[in-house]
Amino acid sequence: MVLYRQTWAILLAIAVTGFISQGFAGTLHGLWLLQVHPARLINDYTAIAGTGATLVNAVLVALIGLVLARLSKVRISGPVIAAVYTMLGFGLFGKTPVNSLPIILGVFVASRLARTNFNTYILIALFGTALAPVVSAVAVEVLPIGPASWTMAVAAGVAVGIVLPPTAMVMLRFHQGFNLYNIGLTSGFIGLFVASLVIAAGGSLPATLIWNTDPDIVLILFIPVLSVIFIVAGMAKNPLKGWKDNWEINTLSGRLPSDFMDMVSIHGSLVNMGLLGLGSWGYCMIVQAPLNGPVIGGILTIIGFGAFGKHLRNCWPVMAGILAATLLFGVELTAPGAILAILFGTTLAPIAGEFGLGLGFVAGFLHLVMVSRSGAWHTGMSLYNNGFAGGLTATLLAAFMEWYQAIRDDSPKEST
């Protein structure tokens, strides 16, 4: 209950900040613009509708997740916190209430078809809004805009939502929990089919890049303020326990599903979330990356998963691998692909947590190579492109490690 209230308070504060920064009328106008704008990667909403409208849009998307979780009577803990902050982050560049709700409705229909409670699919529904651009694409890109296109868009959203649960469960088995954004792999996979269908039907899905290079002060200060709130909240009752529990969290592998709030403590998790936020923000400041919608979205996702699989110890080897690949292949550190890869690439953190720094580094290195290509495959239909590429990398490494451990265990021992 405390976490639920705390999250509500944070979201309300963000929405108020949004209204103040852009004015009431300007915010509402921008908010409307976003609902009817294409959402495929990369559409930085802060450049399209302004900071205030983008923040309010993100809050509305996150509130859908939080309220649905509450109504579904699931515990507000690590996985729900991860989902809500991921939704908040992607509300800055791709998700809106309008394009997210049909996906959630589709997952609900899937739960009815499976004769199970919606709460067993709630996480798939919330993370599954990664496919929200499918709805927007059908409504405003593929078909002539009108009631028919919106009807088709909702139908498409519901259809992909129905396919999500069975696909997500199978995808988990591929990488065995070593890709934290499993819905990224799932939605990228489904996105391949959607994009192929659209192109086969004669549609055109050109690459998009709307990227705010001049974010305002509200966006620049957003993450450090939020991170400090988490750290203070985590240390409020007992500062020593907050740090001690955070230390314990750093000893865990983070493999799915690792609910740090349940396995260790809420306070340690909040400190972890804050530290990850400050660390990621610090990196962006050092390389002078613009703190725009997608970059803040990446950091918010890291913060959310600070309660569900990520910590400084399992993230840095992966980030180091991505950084090394970026430098080796001559990619600019602040290029959209590179900065998003280093933030979202931490989806592979459990590989470093389970198998050590070396394999974590290799995973990160491979990730940059894969993620540079994978977005074009699904034409940006899945917002979790790094989850898609990360899932492929994790599957490769999990398969290799399974084989390697089997032959190592079976090899004859040397006699002394």
Partner 1 sequence: MKKRNELALHLIGEVGHYILEANPKRLVISLHLEDDGFHLKILDDIVRSDKEIEEMNLMLHETQRPELAGYYGSMTGFETLGHARLGMVGWQVKHGEVRHRDGGSQIDIWLGGEQFDPPHFTIPADKA
Q: Which is nearer to partner 1, 383 or 398 (CB)?
A: 398
Q: Which is nearer to partner 1, 153 or 261 (CB)?
A: 261
Tokens of 355: 């198998």
**Shortest separation between residue 193's beta carbon and partner 1, angstroms:** 21
In sequence order, what are the residues at sequence separation of 6 or more whose Cβ sits closer than 8 angstroms to the Cβ of residue 411?
none
Q: Which is nearer to partner 1, 79 or 298 (CB)?
A: 79
**Shortest separation between residue 255's beta carbon and partner 1, angstroms:** 7
**Interface ranges with partner 1 (CB under 8 A):** 69, 72, 74-75, 79-80, 116-117, 119-124, 165, 168-169, 172-173, 176-178, 253, 255-257, 259, 354, 398, 401-402, 405
**Shortest separation between residue 134's beta carbon and partner 1, angstroms:** 21
Q: Which is nearer to partner 1, 175 or 367 (CB)?
A: 175
**Shortest separation between residue 30's beta carbon and partner 1, angstroms:** 33
Measured CA to CA, the distance from residue 415 to residue 48 in angstroms comes to 69
Measured CA to CA, the distance from residue 190 to residue 159 in angstroms comes to 11
Cis link prior to 407 (omega < 30° from 0)?
no
Q: Which residues of 77-91 are buried (b: 16+ CB within 10 A; e: fewer)?
A: bbbbbbbbbbbbbbb
For 221, the 3-state DSSP assignment is helix
Q: Which residues of 194-231 are buried (b: 16+ CB within 10 A; e: fewer)?
A: bbeebeeeeeebeebebbbeebbebbbebbbebbebbb
Q: How far is CA 158 from CA 7, 77, 128, 412, 416, in A?
A: 28, 27, 11, 54, 64
Q: Which is nearer to partner 1, 105 or 143 (CB)?
A: 105
What is the DSSP secondary structure assignment for residue 415, as one 8-state letter? P
- DSSP-based helix, strand, coil % in the chain, nearest 5: 75, 0, 25
Q: Which is nearer to partner 1, 178 or 283 (CB)?
A: 178
**Shortest separation between residue 260's beta carbon and partner 1, angstroms:** 13
- Contact 85/302 with Cβ under 8 angstroms? no
Tokens of 305: 């998963």
**Shortest separation between residue 371's beta carbon and partner 1, angstroms:** 23
**Shortest separation between residue 263's beta carbon and partner 1, angstroms:** 9
